[in-house]
């Protein structure tokens, strides 16, 4: 499978200049609805994983401590410029979502928008998200998922050899991924293109 950390860093550096033109308007409502499911409190410590150019920033409360990471240096540079324009205080770092450089239990909320279907090993990424979450912490996910009811068909798996290399994996299932990682799903709703894109809110459970 042509989906590695090095390849993703390279391609998202290339995509960065046009990313907003493609993704800002298309995913605006889905981002807002996903973040609207979180139970926000003032002073929360929040981590955006795979934050890209910072398109989630307009929909986040201002009374939180905000951290953001992305694998692509080109993306994080644009994120920093967006944060400055919006007058948001955001700690931005280049970082692999599958190897987060944060202490255990450090965050109240972890946001993973449009990353689980991209990273090479989503189970490892979710394990890292769970590790850095405090007990009872919330995970906010918005991404494209196939049905949880059945595995991907042969044709879908064949097409995925192409889509996972240039864009995204189209065979991943939300509920099995989150449950296996030790999350308890509290909300799961379609937000775009029928039920292809879903917004899920989950809490860190006990394994």
pLDDT in tens, 14-66: 999 999 999 999 999 999 999 999 999 999 999 999 999 999 999 999 999 99
12 φ/ψ sector (left φ>0, alpha ψ -120 to 50, else beta):
alpha
C-alpha 82 chain-centroid distance? 18
> Does position 1 have pLDDT exceeding 70, yes or no?
no
| Lowest-confidence segment of 11-15, 55-59, 88-92, 130-134 by average pLDDT | 11-15
pLDDT in tens, 159-207: 777 677 777 887 899 999 999 999 999 999 999 999 999 999 999 987 6
The pLDDT score that the predictor gives to residue 102 is: 98
| Per-residue CA distances from 29 to 112, 188, 193 (Å) | 16, 16, 12
Average pLDDT, the chain: 94
The pLDDT score that the predictor gives to residue 207 is: 65
More confident residue, 167 or 118: 118
Say if CB 126 and CB 116 are below 8 A apart: yes
Say if CB 107 and CB 133 are below 8 A apart: yes
Say if CB 32 and CB 59 are below 8 A apart: yes
> Does position 151 have pLDDT exceeding 80, yes or no?
no
Mean pLDDT of 126-139: 97
User: How far is Cα 55 from Cα 61, in angstroms, rounded to an integer?
Assistant: 14
Assign 3-class secondary structure to the chain.
Answer: CCCCHHHHHHHHHHHHHHHHHHHCCCCHHHHHHHHHCCCCCCCCEEEEECCCCCCCHHHCCCCCEEEEEECCHHHHHHHHHHHHHCCCCEEEEECCCCCCCCCCCCEEEEEEECCCCCCCCHHHHHHHHHHHEEEEEEEEEEEECCCCCCCCCHHHHHHHHHHHHHCCCCCCCHHHHHHHCCEEEEEEEEEECCCCEEEEEEEECCC
Query: Which domains are seen in the chain, by residue range?
Result: 5-204 (3.40.50.150)
Place of tokens 């989150």: 178
User: How far is Cα 96 from Cα 102, in angstroms, rounded to an integer?
Assistant: 11
Instruction: Provide the pLDDT confidence category of residue 2 given band limits of 50, 70 and 90.
Output: low
| Lowest-confidence segment of 77-81, 90-94, 143-147, 158-162 by average pLDDT | 158-162
Say if CB 17 and CB 179 are below 8 A apart: no
The pLDDT score that the predictor gives to residue 10 is: 92
Q: Looking at the DSSP assignment, which residues form a beta bridge with residue 8?
A: none
Say if CB 52 and CB 81 are below 8 A apart: no
């Amino acid at each position: 499978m042509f989906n590695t950390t090095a390849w993703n860093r390279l391609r998202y550096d290339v995509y960065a200049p046009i990313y907003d033109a493609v993704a800002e308007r298309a995913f605006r409502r889905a981002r807002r609805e996903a973040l609207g499911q979180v139970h926000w409190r003032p002073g929360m410590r929040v981590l955006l994983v795979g934050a890209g150019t910072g398109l989630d920033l307009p929909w986040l409360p201002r009374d939180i401590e905000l951290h953001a990471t992305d694998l692509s240096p080109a993306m994080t540079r644009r994120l920093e410029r967006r944060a400055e324009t919006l007058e948001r205080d955001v700690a931005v770092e280049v970082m692999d979502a599958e190897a987060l450089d944060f202490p255990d239990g450090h965050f109240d909320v972890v946001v993973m928008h449009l990353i689980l279907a991209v990273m090479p090993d989503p189970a490892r990424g979710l394990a890292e998200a769970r590790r850095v979450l405090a007990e009872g912490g919330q995970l906010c996910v918005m991404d494209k998922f196939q049905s949880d009811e059945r595995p991907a068909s042969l044709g879908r798996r064949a097409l995925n050899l192409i889509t996972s290399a240039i864009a995204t994996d189209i065979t991943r299932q939300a509920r099995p991924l989150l449950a296996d990682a030790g999350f308890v799903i509290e909300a799961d709703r379609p937000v775009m293109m029928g039920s292809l894109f879903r917004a899920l809110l989950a809490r860190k459970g006990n394994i």
